[in-house]
Amino acid sequence: MKIAMWSGPRNLSTALMYAFAARGDCAVWDEPFYAAYLRATGIDHPMRDKIVEVHEDDPALIAAACMGPVPQDKTLFYQKHMTVHMIPDFDRQFMRSLTNVFLIRHPARVVASYAKKREGPTLADIGFVQQAELFDQVAGWTGEAPLVIDSADIRANPGGALERLCSALTIPFDDNMLHWPAGPKPYDGIWASHWYGAVHRSTGFEEPEGDLPDLPPEYQAIVDEALPFYEKLTAHKL
């Protein structure tokens, strides 16, 4: 099985990738389209030039690999995708060959976390509009709502949430998904040194988060724009 997990940034996505990698039967791929997105858009991100230099940036080749044989003779292939990377210029037909799942997080938490790593985020940067668009496209192809899981539910009860996810994917749950070794991983993208500090210090999912953060007006305005897209997917969460 090839699982495409679609999320925005700062969304528990790396921790969930680590959880699947810890199973032992699952190969993982960290943000396959990141370099292609940077090359195609010219957008300035931390470590931009290094990312494009080191990682594949041809979207057609990346899509073919997403659909291709599962690496390392594993049973599962978990692909951690960012919704912002799937720009309209990229052919999305490869997604039809994957089991598409959508990972969501409240936009107030996303904006607060993102702004600590890259100042001045916009609605386009945090991926909610793109996530809803991809959700609708997959639903149109399959005739039913794709799977949705909320990061808050994972942090509240990691075992229960991942058991529900595995059941919905018709794969066995593995207790190893709840723990992983601290530190960088060999399958991390080269951007990990900038973005993954907290998850590299972790050995499992963190405790539930408290109240929503207080944000300055310009950031709260982004949250208000993103909320309808988040709530749309929330209605379908496991």
Q: Find all residues with CB under 8 Å of 64, minimum gap 6, and list them.
A: 94
Tally of domains within the chain: 1
For residue 4, the 8-state DSSP code is E
Sign of CA dihedral 111, 20, 38, 128: negative
Distance separating alpha carbons of residues 134 and 140, to the nearest angstrom? 10
82, 127 contact by CB (below 8 A): yes
- Per-residue pLDDT of 74-129, as tens digits, reads 999 999 999 999 999 999 999 999 999 999 999 999 988 777 766 667 888 889 99
Nearest to 81 by CA among 96, 93, 66, 70: 66
- Give the per-residue pLDDT at 119: 66
Which backbone phi and psi does 30 adopt, to 5 degrees?
A: -90, 105
- Give the per-residue pLDDT at 188: 96
Other CB atoms closer than 10 Å to residue 116's CB: what's the count? 9
User: Taking CA 34 as the corner, what is the angle to CA 27 and CA 81, rounded to the nearest 5 degrees?
Assistant: 50
CA distances for 96 relative to 99, 114, 146, 216, angstroms: 8, 30, 12, 40
Q: Tokens standing for 209?
A: 């988060």
User: What percentage of the chain carries pLDDT values higher than 90?
Assistant: 84
Sign of CA dihedral 57, 99, 8, 140: positive
CATH number at residue 28: 3.40.50
Spans of the chain below 70 pLDDT: 117-120
For residue 30, the 8-state DSSP code is E
Residue 38: domain span: 2-234
180, 199 contact by CB (below 8 A): no
pTM of the model: 0.94
